[in-house]
Amino acid sequence: MRPDVLETLVSLAKRRGFVFQSSEIYGGTGSVWDYGPLGVELKNNIKQRWWNAMVRERDDVEGLDAAILMHPKVWEASGHVSGFSDPLVDCKACKARFRADKLADAQCPRKPSKKPGEHADCQLTEPRQFNLMFKTFMGPVEDSAAVVYLRPETAQGIFVNFLNVQQATRQKVPFGIAQIGKAFRNEITPGNFTFRTREFEQMEMQFFVEPGTDMEHFERWKQARLDWHLGLGLDRDRLEFHQHSDKELAHYARAAFDINFDFGGSLGFQEIEGVHNRSDFDLTQHQQFSSKKLEYVDQANNKRYVPYVIETSVGADRVTLAVMVNALREEAVPGEQEGRTVLGFHPALSPIKAGVFPLTKKDGQPEMAEKLAATIRKKFTVFYDEAGAIGRRYRRQDEAGTPFGITIDGDSTANHDVTIRFRDDMGQIRVSADKVVEVLAKYLEADHRTADSKLVG
Ligand code: GAP
């Protein structure tokens, strides 16, 4: 079993400004998190990579940004009003709530630690269904006619816009629609840091295909999505497919695989993405509830049909957490008593690409360093730091996951050259100050993470 690193990560995330608890000064809000300066850069880099892979680099997928609030009938058609619920059990003795289907994994909040129902005076109620959608009201009147929901998935915004997008872009089936956006679920048992939260972001794509060709597209997307996760630098042996059994499969789904990532500890392998063959269920439901035809007309072959949908659905927060867990390492440093903590991100994902450090605060070093930082900042994210011992400054950037440290020393002002120090092997190369941006670009482009001068040119 891989070690449980979540506790270490939660404190590092706060210390370095990746993730803070929401409304912390008021005691925090249950399972809602805020991304700090480094966290927002990291998550944006991941979202940007997804958008590039799914929309920009393809000519058969279009982008969309649908609203969070939708017509309430959408959620009747999708089945969320009647079926998006978990079985809830209350304990009348301690007032805790549990998912009835997860009792075996749950912990009673009272000491000594036991499972719900195991203390002598536990009083568990019969399970009742609890709908996970957040309800609110549209307009100033709070009555049942004004009820709307915060969307529990982004997918429905895509289904209801299927014909709008198809007609506006003149795409031919097979084609897809992709979007990134917030989703909300009133989870009964959120937890494990940002793994299961009540407000989160999804990156979803629905690929519309001709019935009969669906399984071939399904297999292709399954592989493409696994490859995308590998491209983020997630270790191959921490990723696996989990095929939904007949019991897990939604009644309308023809096939479903989760991509699971090993978060370590007791959490272990957990879903970060789902790839689903949803048949024509969603479009057919929306056709029925809206009384609007949602057919595709294939003029070339003189056919009309409701397309099948292959869905890829990944949580931006969950992948960000997986990337942080995968990157975290604590290691000894040869010749030093204290070890170091490193977030060894794929450099393309690193929130800060380069730290710039004058060795001392005199002899023109800060001036040269600030000038260099300003030049690099035009192309890459930079952190300028002149405070404290150089070793400490390197350690701070190791924890932030910064792949390159650039040091300006006594020779730099005379020779106009600097040292580039590499996060992963702590090796160093010397380059002309004028070539720093070009050299960083080459190392980033080649995803080359160790100190040899072969890319200096
Ligand atoms: N449209 C299909 C759909 O929403 P899902 O398996 O319920 O499928 C897809 O969700 C992904 O969204 C999950 O793999 C996960 O990454 C993310 N996700 C779902 N619920 C979440 C939660 N409460 N907190 C964080 N991420 C969540």
Assess whether the C-beta atom of 196 lies below 6 angstroms from ligand 1. yes
192 C-alpha to ligand 1 centroid (Å):
14
Tokens encoding 155: 């997918």
202 C-alpha to ligand 1 centroid (Å):
7
256 C-alpha to ligand 1 centroid (Å):
14
273 C-alpha to ligand 1 centroid (Å):
7
Q: Say how far apart CA 413 and CA 206 lie, in whole Å.
A: 56
Assess whether the C-beta atom of 318 lies below 6 angstroms from ligand 1. yes
Residue type, 393: R
Residue type, 371: K
Assess whether the C-beta atom of 260 lies below 6 angstroms from ligand 1. no
Helix (H) or strand (E) segment spanning residue 391: helix 390-400
pLDDT in 10s for each residue of the chain, 457 residues: 999 999 999 999 999 999 999 999 999 988 899 999 999 999 999 999 999 999 999 999 999 999 999 999 999 999 999 999 989 999 999 988 888 888 888 888 888 888 898 898 899 999 999 999 999 999 988 888 899 999 999 999 999 999 999 999 999 999 999 999 999 999 988 899 999 999 999 999 999 999 999 999 999 999 999 999 999 999 999 999 999 999 999 988 999 999 999 999 999 999 999 999 999 999 999 999 999 999 999 999 999 999 999 999 999 999 999 999 999 999 999 888 889 999 999 999 999 999 999 999 999 999 999 999 999 999 999 999 999 999 999 999 999 999 999 999 999 999 999 999 999 999 999 999 999 999 999 999 988 888 877 777 7
Q: Whose CA is closest to 354, among 424, 320, 401, 417?
A: 401
The structure tokens 């795409």 sit at 171
Q: Whose CA is nearest to atom 19 of ligand 1?
A: 315
Give bridge partners of residue 178 from the DSSP assignment. Answer: 63, 205
Q: Say how far apart CA 137 and CA 350 lie, in whole Å.
A: 40
Would you say the pTM of this structure is higher than 0.85? yes
Q: Whose CA is closest to 21, among 191, 184, 264?
A: 191
Give phi and psi for 102, each to the nearest 5. -125, 20
197 C-alpha to ligand 1 centroid (Å):
10
Q: Whose CA is nearest to atom 10 of ligand 1?
A: 313
